[in-house]
Chains A and B, each alone.
Chain A
Amino acid sequence: MLALGAGALGGLFLRRPRASAAELRPPGALPPGAFERACIGCFRCAEVCPTRAIRFPAGAGLDAAHPFLELRESACVLCMECTEVCPTGALARIAPRPETVAAEVRIGTPVLDRRACLPWSGRGVCRLCAYVCPIGSPAVELVGPQLAPLFHAEGCVGCGLCEEACPDEARAIRIVPAGGPR
Chain B
Amino acid sequence: MALRGGRGYQWIRRTVLGLSVLSVVGTPFLAARFSDRTWPAGVFVGATGAARALGVELLDPLMALGVALSGGARPALLAAALPVLLLVVVLGRFFCGWLCPYLPLLAVSNAVRWAFGRLGVPTLDLRLPAWLRFFVLGAVLGGSAALGTQLAALVYPPALIARSAWRLAFGFGVGGGATVVAAVWLFDTTISRAGFCRSLCPGGALFSLVGARSPVRVHRVAAACTDCTVCDVVCNLGQRPMTDRLDDGCERCGRCVAACPTGALSFGGRRP
- Stretch of B94-102, B158-166, B235-243 lying at the A interface: B158-166
Q: Are A37 and B179 in contact (CB under 8 A)?
A: no
Q: Are A3 and B135 in contact (CB under 8 A)?
A: yes
Q: Who on chain A is nearest to B145 by CB?
A: A12
Interface residue tally on B, bucketed by range: 35 or more
* B66 contact set on A, CB distance < 8 A: 40
Chain A CB within 8 A of B211 CB: no
CA of A62 to CA of B41 in the docked complex: distance in angstroms? 29
Q: Are B67 and A38 in contact (CB under 8 A)?
A: yes
Chain B CB within 8 A of A182 CB: no
Q: Who on chain B is nearest to A17 by CB?
A: B147
Q: Who on chain B is nearest to A55 by CB?
A: B172
- Stretch of A44-52, A104-112, A143-151 lying at the B interface: A44-52
- Stretch of A63-71, A127-135, A153-161, A168-176 lying at the B interface: A63-71
Residues 1-47 of A contacting B (Cβ, < 8 Å): 1, 3-16, 33-34, 36-44, 46-47
Some 10 contacts from A to B, beta carbons below 8 A apart, are A4-B205, A12-B142, A12-B143, A12-B145, A12-B146, A14-B147, A40-B159, A41-B159, A52-B35, A88-B74
* B209 contact set on A, CB distance < 8 A: 4
Interface residues of A (CB under 8 A from B): 1, 3-16, 33-34, 36-44, 46-48, 50, 52, 55-66, 81, 85, 87-90
In the complex, besides A11-B138, A47-B27, A90-B72, 6 extra interface pairs with C-beta distance below 8 angstroms are A8-B138, A10-B138, A11-B151, A33-B148, A56-B172, A87-B52
Interface residues of B (CB under 8 A from A): 27-28, 31, 35, 37, 41, 45-47, 49-50, 52, 57, 59, 63, 66-67, 70-72, 74, 76-77, 80, 131-132, 134-154, 159, 162-163, 166-167, 170, 172-173, 175-177, 179-180, 205, 209
Picked from A7, A34, A63, A87, the residue with its CB within 8 Å of the CB of B136 is A7
CA of A68 to CA of B81 in the docked complex: distance in angstroms? 26
Q: Are B67 and A88 in contact (CB under 8 A)?
A: yes
CA of A89 to CA of B80 in the docked complex: distance in angstroms? 12
CA of A56 to CA of B76 in the docked complex: distance in angstroms? 25
Q: Are B149 and A62 in contact (CB under 8 A)?
A: yes
* B139 contact set on A, CB distance < 8 A: 7-8, 10-11
A85-B41 contact in complex given A44-B50, A47-B31, C-beta closer than 8 Å = yes
